[in-house]
Chains A and B, each alone.
Chain A
Amino acid sequence: MELFNQFVLPPTAAHLELLRYLLVLACLINFPYVGIVIGSTLLSLVLSAIDRDVSNPVCARVAKNLVDMALPSRITVLVFGILPLPVIWVIYGQWFINSTVNTMHLLPGGAFLIAAGLVVLLAYRGGLDPAGRNSTVVMGTGGMGLGLLLLGCYVMFGSVSRFWDPEKWFAVHHAARMLASWNLIWRFLCYMAASLAITGGAILFFSFSWPGKVSEMSDADIRLTKNLGAGVAIAGITGLPVLGFLYLFTLPIVSRSGEIYWLGVALLAVLFVLFAIVYRTIFSPRPRFGATAFVLFVVVFLMMIVGDQLTLVSATKEHIAGLVIESEEREAEIDLEREAMRAAAITPDVVRGQEVFNSVCMTCHQMDERLVGPPLNTVLPKYAGDMEALVSFIQKPSKVDPDYPPMPAPGIPLVDIKSVAAYLLGVGSGDTGSNGTDGSSAAQPQDQEGNGH
C-alpha cells in the first residue's frame, strides 16, 4: 500500500467519480465472463466424470461443447478474463490511497490466481476429447484450473472486503483473518449463484440461438443441453434471493444505505422475469432463447456490481471526503504559491486592508473588546515590526490561547491578508489613539513591507 501511495497523487472528486464508472465497466466485462467459465467448467467436469463412470457419449460431447463455449479462444480469455484484472487493481489502489488496509497485496495475488486458472483451463480445453473417457490428467487439469479460479475469486473479493467494513481495519493484521468473514462468504456465494445462472443462460443462448449450433446437435444432445442449461439457470436464479438476503443481513452498518435495499428488490423482479423465461424453455422441444434474455443475466451482474459500489461508497464516505479535502488542499497550496509570487510584487494597501478587516475579521475581533476572539490590542504588540509573522498566522492560524476557540483560516487572497496585516500593524502596534487610517498608519506598514521583502 505504501509503495502504491508513493506513485499516486490524492485523487480529486471528479477523478474518483470517473474511477467509479471505470470500475463498474471493468467488473462488468470480467465478472460475468469468469462466472460463465466457472459454471461451464464445473458442469463439464461433472459430465466428464459421468462419462468416465458409465460411458455416456452425449455427456462427453456436451462437456466438450461447454468448455468450447466458455473458452472459445485465447484472445477472448485475455480480453474478458485477464486484462480487466490489473485495471481493477489500479482503480482500487487509487481509491484507497492513504488507507492503512493491508489488502492491496492480496488483490494482485487473487488476480494472478484467476489468470493462472484461466491459462490452466485453456490447457484443459485442449486436452478434452469429445469422444469421451478422458484421462485422469485431463480431468485433474480441469479441476486444478477451476480450483485456482475459485480461490482467485475468493481472494480477490476478500482483498477488498475490508473496504466494506472499515470498523475492522484497525484489527486486521493477518491476511487469513481478512478472508474469514460471514459477509464476505455470502457475497462470494451470491456471485457464484449468479455465475451458475448466467452459465445456464449462456448454454441456452449459445446452443439454441447461435447460428448453426442446433443443426450440429443430435436430439439427445439437445435434450441434455436444454435440461442442463435450464436446470443450472433456475438453481442460480432461486439461490440468489436467499444468499442476497444473508448478504444484506450481515452487511456492516457503515456500508448500508436505503438504495441497496431498493436495488435488491429490483434485482428480485429481474430474477422473477428470468425464472419465467427459463422455465418456459424446459417444455419447448426446440427452445428459443433470445439475446434479450441473455442480456438480462448480464443485467443481474450489473445490478450486483452497482450494489457493491453503493455499499462501498457508503462505507468509505469519510475516507473519500478526506481524500477530496487533501487534493483540494494540495491545489490550494499550489494556488497559494502562485499567488505569493504575484503578491511579492504588490505593495499592501492599507485602505483595502481596513475594508477587508471590517467585512471579514470584525465578526470575531475588536480592537479593545473580547468577542469570539481576543481583543487585538492584546495580541498585536508581539507582531510589531514582524509583518511576515502576522501574515503567516492569518494565512494558517493555530490555537494559541486555550480560552478561545481556534481561529479558522479566513480563505481570502494573500494580497488581502497582507493589506489587513499592514492595516493592523498600523493600528495596533503604533499609536492606537490617532493613526487609524490616516497617512501615517499607511506609511508605517508600507515601510515594513518594503524592508521585509
Chain B
Amino acid sequence: MKKYLAIPAAFLFFGFFVLAYLALAHDWYRNRQAPDQPINFSHKIHVGKVGLQCLFCHETADKSTYAGIPTVEKCMSCHLNVATDRPEIQKLAAYWNEGKVMEWNRVHRIRVRKHVYFSHKRHVKAEIDCVNCHGEVKYMDKIRQVKSLEMGWCVQCHRTNDAPTDCLTCHM
C-alpha cells in the first residue's frame, strides 16, 4: 500500500515547491522588476549618446535629500525642437500641451524606507559617483535597480570609503 502513496506524496512535495517558486516570481513581477514608465525614456540615449550629466535633469541631487525628477518643462526645453517626430516625444508633448504632470514610477526602493534616512546631497558632496548606487545608467534603455540597497551593502560601502557606520547615521 505504501508504495502507491509515494507518487501522490511526491506530487504534493513538488506542488508545494511550484507554489514557492511562483511566490518568488510574484514578488519579482510585483515589487522588483523594472517598472514601465509613462513614456519610454532612455538613459542610454540621454546619458550615453548625448552625454547629459546626471545633475542636468536630477537638479536637486546636490542640494536635497531627494535627487529630483525633471519636470515636463525641463524635458521640453530641448524637445520643443529635438526629435519632435518621435512617438515618445509626441507623448511628452501631449503632457506639455495639456499641462499634465508626468507620473513616473519609482525604480529604486529602500525596502524599509520608514526607518532609513538617506540623503543624495551628502553622497554627491562626498563625490560618490552616481554609478555606485544606480549602476551604469548610460547603458540602460529602461532604467532598473541593480543594487540591493540593503543595509549590508550600504555598510560595506561606508566601510570601504571610511564613512561613518554609527547606527544613527542612517537610522533615526
CA distance A364 to B51 in the complex (A): 16
Interface stretch (choices A9-17, A83-91, A221-229, A255-263) = A255-263
Q: A258-B28, A372-B77 are in contact. List 20 more A-B contacts (CB 8 A).
A: A167-B146, A238-B10, A241-B13, A244-B21, A245-B20, A248-B21, A254-B145, A258-B33, A261-B28, A265-B18, A265-B22, A269-B14, A275-B10, A276-B10, A279-B6, A279-B7, A321-B44, A371-B81, A405-B50, A409-B49
Chain A contact residues: helix, strand, loop or mixed: helix
For chain B, give the interface size range.
35 or more
Q: Which of these, B7, B132, B136, contacts A318 with CB under 8 Å? A: B136
Q: Specify the chain A residue showing the minimal Cβ separation from B21.
A: A264
Q: Interface readout for B113-148 with A: 1 if CB under 8 Å, 0 if not?
A: 000000000000000000010011001100001111
Q: Interface readout for A75-103 with B: 1 if CB under 8 Å, 0 if not?
A: 00000000000000000000000000000
Asked whether A283 lies within 8 Å of B3 as measured between CB atoms, the reply is: yes
CA distance A295 to B28 in the complex (A): 32
CA distance A268 to B20 in the complex (A): 11
Q: Specify the chain A residue showing the minimal Cβ separation from B17.
A: A241
Q: Specify the chain A residue showing the minimal Cβ separation from B28.
A: A256
CA distance A242 to B13 in the complex (A): 10
CA distance A318 to B132 in the complex (A): 13
Asked whether B52 lies within 8 Å of A322 as measured between CB atoms, the reply is: no
Contacts of B156 in A (CB 8 A): 168, 171
CA distance A264 to B25 in the complex (A): 10
Contacts of B82 in A (CB 8 A): 363-364, 372
Asked whether A261 lies within 8 Å of B145 as measured between CB atoms, the reply is: no
Interface residues of A in 357-408 (CB under 8 A from B): 363-364, 371-372, 399, 405-406, 408
Asked whether B145 lies within 8 Å of A399 as measured between CB atoms, the reply is: no
Task: Please give the number of chain A residues whose Cβ is less than 8 angstroms from any Cβ of chain B in the complex.
Answer: 46
Q: Interface readout for A288-306 with B: 1 if CB under 8 Å, 0 if not?
A: 0000000000000000000
Q: Interface readout for A144-187 with B: 1 if CB under 8 Å, 0 if not?
A: 00000000000000000000001110110000000000000000
CB distance from B46 to the nearest CB of A (A): 9
CB distance from B148 to the nearest CB of A (A): 5
Q: Which of these, A171, A265, A272, A279, contacts B21 with CB under 8 Å? A: A265
CB distance from A166 to the nearest CB of B (A): 7
Asked whether B136 lies within 8 Å of A322 as measured between CB atoms, the reply is: yes
CB distance from B40 to the nearest CB of A (A): 16
Q: Is B105 an interface residue (CB 8 A)?
A: no
Asked whether A167 lies within 8 Å of B10 as measured between CB atoms, the reply is: no
Asked whether A170 lies within 8 Å of B21 as measured between CB atoms, the reply is: no
